[in-house]
Amino acid sequence: MPRTLVFLALCALATSTTAAAVSAERQTELRDLVHQDCGACHGMRLTGGLGPALTSQALQGKSHDFLFVTISEGRPGTPMPPWRTQLTEQEINWIVDYLKTPEESP
């Protein structure tokens, strides 16, 4: 499939699902995953490391869909891995909301 089609399909998915679909229990697990697995590269407090900072401030100007695609597909040619095999679309949406919400951000 051409890249643009993949991108558009993902955008449609990103806007058609809601964070509410993720259970409270799973949210706790996702918080741990963000700080441990993502934190391994982005810093335990997500202030940056091998990868850039993922604080709400750092992500302010970046759209939900852009961040969703980055997490889902990774960034080919960089160490940023694709997460779509490990996380559902709802879970990736939840993570994007979590990262972008100032009071939730570490």
- CA angle 12-68-25, nearest 5°? 105
Instruction: Report, in Å, the least distance between residue 88 CB and ligand HEC.
Output: 13
Q: For ligand HEC, give the closer residue by CB, 70 or 90.
A: 70
Q: List the end-to-end C-alpha distance of the chain, in Å, as a whole number.
A: 38
Q: Is 38 in the site for ligand HEC (CB under 6 A)?
A: yes
Q: Is 83 in the site for ligand HEC (CB under 6 A)?
A: yes
Q: For ligand HEC, give the closer residue by CB, 9 or 81.
A: 81
Q: Which residues contact residue 66 at a Cβ distance below 8 angstroms, ignoring those fewer than 6 apart?
A: none
- Going by C-alpha positions, the residue among 51, 91, 93 that lies closest to residue 68 is 93
**Given the rule CB under 6 A, which residues bind ligand HEC?**
34, 37-38, 40-42, 50-52, 54, 62, 67, 70-71, 75, 78-81, 83, 95
